[in-house]
């Protein structure tokens, strides 16, 4: 009997997760705090006592960066969940232009072949169907299903693109908050025909969980030493604590169930811009533990938890605002309770966790300016204005306006017209670069397909071009990829944003907990594509070929 066993073992080791043992990992938990910066962990570290405190006592990679240029939520979560650059995951932006469909804006998780799924059934909620159809690579859920029979995966997040892209094609469920319709957590018929009971029961009169007083600061957040004590600073959204509910929630028994559609929608939008988007997500994750029996057998399960509140609140108030500070302290406490629950149900030795973020953020330009940075807030629609000005310049020089549109990362051109009139892409790009003062303030450079598309032996090996190449897919990327100077904000009349290749948008937390991690600080540079192979290795699962990262040790 010994010989056949020995012969079979190498096969098992190469295609399956490690065989059951006392200390086997049975659950992987990935927590992504949308728009979290390492500075926030640094500044608030001493005040954390819950989930973030646990991570800070774990394996902490201080120099972790997203290794791609378009630092936004879709690409970031796809990278966290697949170990692939956007050029390989296909998720090159939150939105991109599709040439075949007349440059129409394509949302990164759009799928017209499926229907939205809410507590009232298919089609009753949300604007359109969602799925990972546009994700070109496999995600953690896919690798685990292949390597660990019976594996279950669930993604829970405030945002659909986070829950869907950070899990993969084979997730059992991706669930996200219905911010516009007020149905609670919703999904898509891609995952099933009816919302599971544990979600539908959460959605029942979810507004009863909101406090009458709305969002007030915790006492701890008011500590002036946290550097966030002034409630309104230059550049912030002009709203102050307490952030009241938009309407009084009726509390008499039965009455709250009669909230109208309009009222539910108003309250759900309020939740989306408050810590409750995160607190609700964490509560649902705890329900998922029991409902899906996560981590209770020998298969390796996967829970993705995307806390979107930091981003939504951060866009309005900035990363050092009182609002974001208060939200992160609340996230910390709630995550601590979730982790205690996982310990109790799964056993501390049977689960591993990672903390990271889909992108960083630019501090408020006004606060940078006050410290001497050359920071500027351009008109929110400066990209559109700039591309129109470029079109006019082209028209006056070449007789034709070749600009057909603008995306979040660049400019679309009428390539057929250019060919007809004998204007090459490089010639046009040179014209646009050299004349940038006349159409786009603070333009650092433009890249074309020739600069970024992989050609044998000539992929860009460094600098901005390498980062832009990792965000480039010829069928989904614009003709001219636009890079503005650092410390430049477009798109927001107040608050701030992200999306650039500059370090403040790409530097993110990357921390590990549990078996296989080495507590302490690690200052070796690493990238977010290293996350998936690291988690697979620590869970005893094989690392598939073709990933863009390597396991961190």
- Which one, 275 or 295, has the nearer CB to Zn ion? 275
Closest contact distance (angstroms) between CB of 315 and Zn ion is: 6
User: Quick check: 70 binds Zn ion (CB under 5 A)?
Assistant: no
Is 535 in contact with 544 (CB distance < 8 Å)?
no
Residue nearest to Zn ion (CB): 311
How far is 525 from 64, CA to CA, in rounded Å?
6
Closest contact distance (angstroms) between CB of 311 and Zn ion is: 4
Stretch near Zn ion under the rule CB under 5 A, chosen from 136-144, 309-317, 346-354, 422-430: 309-317
- Which one, 132 or 499, has the nearer CB to Zn ion? 499
Judged by CB under 5 A, how many residues of this single chain contact Zn ion?
Answer: 1
Tell me the DSSP string of 123-183.
TSSSSS-B-STT--S--HHHHHHHHSTT--EEEEESSHHHHHHTT-TT-SEEEEE-TTT--
Q: How far is CA 96 from CA 71, 91, 406, 410, in A?
A: 14, 9, 10, 10
Closest contact distance (angstroms) between CB of 361 and Zn ion is: 7
Q: How far is CA 439 from CA 341, 388, 516, in A?
A: 56, 8, 53
Q: Which of 78, 80, 95, 71 is nearest to 136 (CA)?
A: 78
Closest contact distance (angstroms) between CB of 401 and Zn ion is: 32
- Which one, 70 or 311, has the nearer CB to Zn ion? 311
Q: What is the DSSP pairing of strand 153-157 with strand 173-177?
A: parallel
Stretch near Zn ion under the rule CB under 5 A, chosen from 308-316, 376-384, 418-426, 440-448: 308-316
Q: HEC states along 478-523?
A: CCEEEEECCCEECCCCCCCCCCCCCHHHHECCEEEECCCCCCEEEC
Q: x-or-dash pattern for Zn ion, window 22-61, by CB under 5 A?
A: ----------------------------------------
Closest contact distance (angstroms) between CB of 458 and Zn ion is: 33
- Which one, 59 or 311, has the nearer CB to Zn ion? 311
Chain mean position to CA 402: 33
Closest contact distance (angstroms) between CB of 323 and Zn ion is: 15
How far is 128 from 438, CA to CA, in rounded Å?
40
Subset of 268-307 contacting Zn ion (CB under 5 A): none
What SS3 class is residue 302? strand
Subset of 461-480 contacting Zn ion (CB under 5 A): none
- Which one, 117 or 490, has the nearer CB to Zn ion? 490
How far is 139 from 79, CA to CA, in rounded Å?
9
- DSSP H helices in 213-321: 261-272, 276-291, 309-317
How far is 341 from 278, CA to CA, in rounded Å?
17
Q: How far is CA 426 from CA 35, 124, 224, in A?
A: 35, 49, 53
- Which one, 38 or 336, has the nearer CB to Zn ion? 38
Closest contact distance (angstroms) between CB of 308 and Zn ion is: 9
Subset of 354-393 contacting Zn ion (CB under 5 A): none
- Which one, 33 or 468, has the nearer CB to Zn ion? 33
User: Quick check: 160 binds Zn ion (CB under 5 A)?
Assistant: no
Stretch near Zn ion under the rule CB under 5 A, chosen from 90-98, 101-109, 311-319, 455-463: 311-319
Subset of 422-451 contacting Zn ion (CB under 5 A): none
Closest contact distance (angstroms) between CB of 405 and Zn ion is: 22
Tell me the DSSP string of 61-101.
ETTEE--SS--SHHHHHHHHHHS--HHHHS--SSEEEEGGG
- Which one, 169 or 269, has the nearer CB to Zn ion? 269
- Which one, 301 or 311, has the nearer CB to Zn ion? 311
Subset of 72-131 contacting Zn ion (CB under 5 A): none
Closest contact distance (angstroms) between CB of 35 and Zn ion is: 5
Subset of 491-530 contacting Zn ion (CB under 5 A): none
Subset of 161-200 contacting Zn ion (CB under 5 A): none
Closest contact distance (angstroms) between CB of 39 and Zn ion is: 16
Q: Which of 59, 138, 311, 366 binds Zn ion (CB under 5 A)?
A: 311
- Which one, 17 or 313, has the nearer CB to Zn ion? 313
- Which one, 178 or 311, has the nearer CB to Zn ion? 311
Closest contact distance (angstroms) between CB of 347 and Zn ion is: 36
Q: Is the peptide bond before 242 cis (omega within 30 degrees of 0)?
A: yes
- Chain residues binding Zn ion by CB under 5 A are 311
């Amino acid at each position: 009997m010994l010989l056949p066993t020995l012969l079979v073992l190498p096969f098992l080791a190469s295609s399956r997760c490690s065989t059951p043992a006392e200390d086997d990992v049975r659950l992987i938990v990935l927590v992504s705090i949308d728009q979290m910066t390492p500075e926030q962990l640094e500044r608030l570290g001493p005040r954390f006592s819950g989930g973030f405190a646990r991570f800070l006592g774990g394996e902490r990679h201080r120099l972790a960066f997203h290794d791609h240029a378009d630092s936004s939520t879709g690409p970031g979560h796809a990278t966290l969940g697949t170990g692939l650059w956007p050029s390989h995951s296909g998720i090159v932006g939150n939105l991109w232009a599709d040439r075949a469909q007349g440059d129409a804006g394509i949302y990164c998780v759009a799928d017209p072949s499926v229907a939205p799924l809410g507590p009232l059934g298919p089609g009753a909620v949300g604007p359109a169907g969602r799925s990972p159809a546009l994700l070109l690579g496999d995600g953690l859920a896919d690798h685990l299903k292949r390597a660990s029979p019976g594996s279950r995966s669930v993604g829970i997040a405030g945002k659909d693109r986070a829950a869907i892209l950070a899990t993969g094609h084979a997730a059992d469920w991706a669930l996200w908050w219905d911010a516009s319709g007020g149905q609670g957590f919703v999904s898509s018929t891609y995952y099933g025909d009816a919302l599971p009971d544990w979600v539908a029961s959460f959605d029942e009169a979810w507004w009863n969980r909101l406090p009458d007083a709305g969002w007030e600061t915790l006492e701890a957040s008011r500590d002036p030493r946290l550097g966030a004590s002034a409630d309104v600073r230059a550049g912030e959204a002009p709203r102050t604590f307490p952030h009241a509910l938009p309407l009084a929630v009726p509390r008499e028994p039965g009455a709250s169930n009669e909230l109208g559609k309009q009222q539910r929608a108003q309250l759900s939008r309020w939740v989306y811009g408050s810590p409750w988007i995160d607190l609700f997500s964490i509560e649902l994750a705890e329900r998922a533990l029991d409902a899906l029996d996560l981590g209770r057998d020998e298969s390796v399960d996967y829970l993705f938890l995307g806390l979107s509140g930091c981003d939504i609140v951060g866009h309005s108030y900035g990363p050092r605002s009182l609002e974001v500070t208060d939200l992160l302290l609340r996230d910390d406490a709630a995550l601590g309770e979730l982790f205690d629950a996982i310990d109790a149900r799964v056993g501390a030795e049977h689960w591993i966790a990672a903390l990271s973020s889909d992108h960083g953020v630019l501090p408020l330009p006004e606060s940078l300016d006050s410290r001497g940075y050359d920071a500027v807030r351009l008109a929110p629609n400066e990209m559109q204005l700039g591309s129109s000005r470029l079109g006019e310049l082209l028209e006056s020089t070449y007789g034709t306006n070749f600009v057909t549109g603008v995306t979040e990362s660049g400019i679309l051109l009428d390539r057929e017209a250019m060919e007809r009139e004998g204007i090459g892409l490089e010639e046009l790009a040179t014209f646009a670069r050299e004349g940038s003062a006349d159409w786009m303030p603070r333009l650092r450079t433009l890249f074309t397909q020739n600069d970024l598309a992989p050609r044998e032996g000539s992929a860009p090996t460094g600098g901005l071009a390498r980062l832009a190449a990792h965000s480039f897919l010829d069928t989904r990327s614009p003709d001219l990829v636009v890079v503005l100077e650092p410390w430049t904000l477009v798109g927001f009349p107040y608050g701030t944003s992200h999306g650039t290749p500059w370090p403040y948008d790409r530097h993110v937390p990357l921390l590990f907990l549990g078996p296989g991690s080495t507590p302490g600080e690690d200052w070796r540079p690493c990238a977010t594509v290293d996350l998936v192979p690291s988690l697979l290795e620590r869970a005893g699962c094989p690392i598939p070929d073709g990933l863009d990262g390597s396991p961190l040790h």
